[in-house]
Amino acid sequence: MALISINLQDGSVGKDQDLIIGIDLGTTNSLVAYMKDGQAVCVKGGDGKSTLVPSIVHFGPDNRIDVGDIAKEQLVKDPGNTIYSVKRLMGKSYKDIEEIQGYFGYKILDDDTESLVKVRVKDRYYTPVELSAHILRALKVRIEDVLKMPVSRAVITVPAYFNDNQRQATRDAGKLAGLDVLRIVNEPTAAALAYGIGLDPAQSELIAVYDLGGGTFDISILQIQEGVFEVLSTNGDTFLGGDDFDRAITTMILEQLGLTEEALVADKSFGQSVRLLSEETKKALSASAHFEGTVNGKKVTISRAAFEKKVQPLVQRTLDACKNALADAGRTADQIDKVVMVGGSTRVPLVKDSVSTFFGKPVYDNLNPDEVVALGAAIQADILAGNQKDLLLLDVTPLSLGIETVGGLMDTIIPRNSKVPNKAGRQYTTSVDGQKNLKIAVYQGERDLVEHNRKLGEFILRGIPPMPAGLPKIDIQFILNADGILTVRARELRSGVEQQIDIRPTYGINEEEMAQMLLDSISHAQEDMAVRGLLEARNEARNLLLAGDKFLEQNNAILSEEEKAATKDLLIALEEATKSTDKDVIHHAIEVLNTYTTPLAHRAMDVTIQAAMHGKDVSGETGA
Ligand code: ADP
Ligand code: MG
């Protein structure tokens, strides 16, 4: 791909339309990458030192905003105005993060627990989307400085477990940063791509992506087939990562100095030096067996063996999560073809060795583990730009999408694990005569009752012309675009009235809940089926009761008094039966009613047809 530099003087905008950049918007660090001479590369900062941009935003005096290394320096000096880990807040409500609020050194608030969180800095309130946009803008500037041309199109990665709200928030952040986000890609998919896995459509593979970053751990099991990356399962720990390794070393250093944790709090600058030394020690121990450093003029020595002993339980926790992920995917460790290492913390030899032993095979680790996701994003971007012919890569929906139907039942329209993008629809009708408005409530999840699933949003289709129940034809379409963003469109086909929404966040969901939803659907399958059966029987009975009343009214002149009375009795019996929790009781009452009324209905029909042929009106109260 040829990059043509621009001449700003004559106002031309250059050929940036050819270039789509790849961005890893991480919890701890973010990176930007692009394809240079057919090779994905991450972009270094102006100082040429590092490809990592710490995902930290500092709000200084005079409206000064810094991102990255400069902001990181403010973490201890000016904690209230230094925002880190904003990724943890994306698409979340206050309720979602209430329990972990103590983790953040800055102020998170919301007046309404159901709505999305905001961060307070000085007198201003920032949404996680705005804060992420600052990081994305810094990445945009970084690559524009290197390429000497504007870029406006990007692919951004997100964890595989991110839900629609979190993905939408990420997209919005891109837009706010002046980026046209062409695709949101799952991080494990990007990591696999960086290693060229999945680029051969003929090859089918089962891979595990082990991602241990600064503060989070994710394990994803992916099935790759014909260019489709299917997430079979995800697992992990949202509070386990390199930061915990740092804390382990801090404890060791304090022990050697004969100090306690209080010393860190008492003297902030001492605390900061110990923390910096801890991370430095950890990184050094990834390459050598011993490390010697000084703090406050005193020498400390830490051996790799001692460090490993300390963090062994943490590593074990990641392996337990791997076990769970495999179980959820219904696979075993030896069925995994490839294991990809992602995240700076996988540089720790103990981590690498433990994972390799667990899966019983060497791991993919020759690329920079903190760069692989960004590199893969650049490759995905290149594919989207059409530079790698005949390749079409797709992710899939992690949970089913559907709407609520009568009785609170979930009607799935796009099943879980469907290919993305996707479009599916179904026709519905009204259950009440003359119904003018219809509420369409959209849910995500696997359970049969919507109350157990997650509500994504709702809207009302208004202006349906009054018609008897069952006559309106309401077509509902689910359009899931390539980023997993959902548009729901409802249209009454007879009148053409139409309404649609792009799913907007109502409230968030945390990762555990997401995984739990899948597990619940399995453990409650039996019970759910029973409930669904009962509700469906009740719905059928209710429709029949309405039809029965109408039948009596319309055929008043045709039916004998005896027939009318018998039908009424059976209708009352059916109404009584709907109160039962045994679906068979309801089905039985339905059957008895149907058996009795079917011949009557046939006769009524014949009479009506005859009458119609002779131009007579036999309906209703007018009588004979
Ligand atoms: P995230 O995905 O959460 O943004 P990264 O993948 O960038 O995070 O990982 C950051 C973590 O990796 C930090 O805890 C950092 O200390 C750790 N790390 C980086 N290099 C090394 C190394 N050589 N040895 C051990 N840990 C490392
Ligand atoms: Mg990461």
* Residue 501: pLDDT band with limits 50, 70, 90: confident
- Count of beta carbons in the 10 Å neighbourhood of residue 289: 11
Write down the catalytic residue from 72, 87, 352, 583.
Answer: 87
Count of other CB atoms within 10 angstroms of residue 545: 17
Task: List the catalytic residue out of 96, 211, 511, 528.
Answer: 211
Give the residue, out of 27, 28, 245, with the most ligand 1 atoms within 8 A of its beta carbon, to mutate for a pocket test.
28
Ligand 1 is surrounded, with C-beta below 6 A, by: 26-29, 213-216, 241-243, 279, 282-283, 286, 343-345, 347-348, 370
**3-state percent helix, strand, coil for the chain, nearest multiple of 5:** 45, 25, 35
Count Cα atoms within 13 angstroms, Cβ side, for 138.
28
Tokens of 567: 């039908």
pLDDT value at residue 606: 83
User: What's the pLDDT tens digit per position in 521-546?
Assistant: 666 767 777 777 888 888 888 888 98
pTM score above 0.75? no
Q: Are 302 and 252 in contact (CB under 8 A)?
A: yes
DSSP 8-state secondary structure symbol assigned to residue 43: P
1: pLDDT confidence band, cut at 50, 70 and 90? Answer: very low
Protein residue closest via CA to atom 13 of ligand 1:
214
Do the Cβ atoms of 278 and 208 come closer than 8 Å?
A: no
CA 251 to chain centre: 36
Nearest CA to ligand 1 atom 8: 213
Task: Give the Å distance between the CA of 343 and the centre of ligand 2.
Answer: 5
| Rounded Cα distance, 124 and 487, in Å | 32
Q: Which ligand is nearest to the CA of 53?
A: 1
CA 76 to ligand 2 center in whole angstroms:
23
Distance separating alpha carbons of residues 166 and 319, to the nearest angstrom: 27
Which pair of tokens denotes residue 20?
């789509």
Q: Is 527 a catalytic residue?
A: no
Whether 187 is catalytic is yes
- By C-alpha distance, which of 420, 366, 338 is closest to 160? 420
- Beta strand pairing status for 153-158 and 180-186? parallel
pLDDT one-digit tens code per residue, 114-164: 667 888 888 888 889 999 999 999 999 999 999 999 999 999 999 988 887
Reply yes or no on whether 395 is catalytic: no
Task: Give the pLDDT confidence of 466-485 residue by residue, as tens digits.
Answer: 988 888 899 999 988 766 67
**Active-site option among 187, 218, 243, 404:** 187
Residue 167, pLDDT above cutoff 70: yes
Give the CA count within 13 Å in the CB-facing half-sphere of 122.
12
Q: Please give the pLDDT value at position 621.
A: 39
The CB density around residue 342, as the number of other CB atoms within 10 Å, is 29
The rounded Å distance from CA 614 to ligand 2 centre is: 79
* Alpha helices (H) along 195-345: 242-257, 262-266, 268-285, 304-329
438 and 430 in contact (C-beta within 8 Å)?
A: yes
The rounded distance, in Å, linking the Cα atoms of 219 and 323 is 10
Residue 418's pLDDT band (cuts 50, 70, 90): low
Catalytic member of 16, 24, 370, 492 = 24
> What confidence tens digit (pLDDT) does each residue in 177-236 have?
999 888 889 999 999 999 999 888 788 899 999 999 999 999 999 988 877 788 888 999
With beta carbons less than 8 A apart as the criterion, state whether 450 and 413 touch: no
Query: Distance (Å, rounded) from C-alpha 241 to C-alpha 370?
Result: 13
Binned at pLDDT 50, 70 and 90, residue 393 comes out as low
Which band of pLDDT confidence, cut at 50, 70 and 90, is reported for residue 171?
A: confident
Please, what are the domains in the chain?
18-195+369-384 (3.30.420.40), 203-366 (3.30.420.40), 401-509 (2.60.34.10), 527-613 (1.20.1270.10)
| Mean pLDDT score of the chain | 86
Q: Give dist(CA 436, CA 303) in Å, integer.
A: 74
What is the mean pLDDT of the segment spanning 20-34? 97
Rg (CA), the chain: 31
**Does pLDDT of 8 surpass 80?**
no
